Structure 1
């Protein structure tokens, strides 16, 4: 039975064309990463398959919510769409984080003695914290009443989730910066030949991607107490949707993501020595 409230339009969904255009743009990226997950199976590619397919589904649903009145009046459909967008960002941020750590592993640098830096490189801790942020976001999205009003608890959960995402995004940028410093030092000591385009420009790509992630999260954090402004498509598309798809385009650079058997220290003799000492 119709509620006579178009929840999609009430929260700021208006452009069906933009939603379907982004769905079309994500389609070839989803196909590319599905192919790469078979040709070069890595956690990064698997995670990007998850992100691109979720974004494809989320934008299709967003377009349907705007174009089909009865669907727009379905609160459950809107909540499902918001959850898809939240879960999707988990995949993108974790893929970026994993790629940075994989490339750092190949550098074979001594592990930092700084406990804070070592903690930021703990994949399990990062993943668990990301999961917590997503869970809080899902709980916040599910707290909307049938009248479209978000409870005070829901607002608090949304804010906490957003802040956690921002902190992790800043950590991702920090990791990319540290890796860039390592790479500069290494390339100053040796010359490498026959590298792919992605490998040669990995640091620039990762730093640009990390900066785009920060733009996306900075906007979300700045508007977390003003949902109407956050969902305003004049801001949301250029500051959230565009940075995300640009990051996906950067991550699809040939040769950027190393094969699983390449994710090991670059100097095997050093690894052997460390193993013997252990």
Structure 2
């Protein structure tokens, strides 16, 4: 496989689609840079990094699709896949933490008051599982070029394990959104101020984000774990990959820009202090 055209082998053909998404992420990334400066919350900072990684990944895909020489560059392909994997870590963890932040502000139980083994409310446990999933995915990509059939088989198993972990965590995040969202009342971020659209309809926006991410991961899960070669081949079909993977996550990231959805760091700190004050009484 040393001289293989990796772009063609893994279904990277469309230069135009890759360029389109690179262009779409540029203004969105700049918007989150602005928001990170004005409201330096974890969610905005991570989304800024996510947009930068996605833009770089799509530029790489465009180069690989356009040039046979670049398409045969294994290092470029691995870099593209690593950026896609790490970027999804950022996207899923942002959704997870935002639900907890809004729950804390709405008067729900913060993550500190729950068992570390509760996947719905343990950021550390969730982050650890995500890290394992990313590490397995990177290891699989890095060894896929081996000439040893046993190593290639191991790489496929690692890729499958990574996909299963991401799928399970996506389901957990969706369940967290439903359980936490319906267990707390919506509230405004600050007294005496009119409620913004993202504040009033935050739970439904978070449900939409969760649904979009779940669509993405369900497609990857089914095409990875299926024993059917024809179904597995659909993962590299750009006519499916772009609408079900690329577009769903772009729309999900764009939803975060809705005014009032992401609370300020000051508001989160105030809510945490109120929670701690209530515990001390």
Which gives a bigger RCO, structure 1 or 2 (Cα 8 Å, sep 6+)? Answer: 1
Give the Å deviation of 1:164: 0.6
Cα deviation for residue 197 of structure 1 reads: 1.4
CA gap of 1:140–1:194, structure 2 versus 1, over 3 A, is same
Alignment correspondent of 1:253:
258
After superposition, the Cα gap between the structure-2 partners of 1:203 and 1:273, relative to the gap in structure 1 and judged at 3 Å, is: closer
Q: Distance in 1 between matches of 2:120 and 2:206?
A: 17
TM-score, normalised via structure 2 length: 0.88
**How many Å separate the matches in 2 of 1:166 and 1:40?**
31
Q: CA offset at residue 266 of structure 1? A: 5.2
**Aligned match of 2:236 in 231, 234, 239?**
231
The equivalent of 1:63 in structure 2 is 62
Single out whichever of 160-169 and 76-85 deviates more from structure 2.
Answer: 76-85
Structure 2, unmatched stretches of 5+, are none
2:103–2:110 contact (8 Å) kept in structure 1: no
Give a deviation string over 1:193-240, Cα, whole Å, max 9, x none.
611111111111100000111100000000014553211101101110
CA shift for structure 1 position 186 = 5.6
1:128 aligns with 2:123: no
Measure how far apart 1:116 and its partner are: 8.6
Provide the C-alpha distance between the structure 2 equivalents of 1:236 and 1:7, rounded to a whole number of angstroms: 17
- Tell me how many residue pairs correspond in the alignment: 271
User: CA–CA distance in 1 between the matches of 2:275 and 2:41?
Assistant: 24
1:167 equivalent in structure 2: 168
Q: Structure 1: which 5+ residue stretches go unaligned?
A: none
Task: Tell me if structure 2 keeps the 8 A contact 1:107–1:265.
Answer: no
Which consecutive aligned stretches of 4+ in structure 1 deviate over 3 angstroms post-superposition?
110-119, 146-150, 264-271
Distance in 1 (alpha carbons) for counterparts of 2:55 and 2:13: 18
Matched, 1:153 2:146: no
Q: Distance in 1 between matches of 2:101 and 2:109?
A: 15
With over 3 angstroms needed to count, the CA separation of the structure-2 counterparts of 1:76 and 1:263, relative to structure 1, is same
Between 50-59 and 171-180, report the one with greater CA deviation: 171-180
Q: 1:180 Cα deviation (Å)?
A: 2.2
CA RMSD between the two structures: 2.6
User: What secondary structure sits across from 2:4 in the alignment?
Assistant: coil
Q: Cα gap change, 1:134/1:193 in structure 2, threshold over 3 Å: closer, same or farther?
A: same
1:243 aligns with 2:252: no
Q: 1:26·1:52 contact (CA, 8 Å) conserved in 2?
A: yes
Where does residue 142 of structure 2 map in the other structure? 142
- Separation in 2, partners of 1:249, 1:110: 28
Deviation at 1:120, TM superposition (A): 2.5
What TM-score, normalized to structure 1? 0.89
Q: Does 1:213 align with 2:213?
A: yes
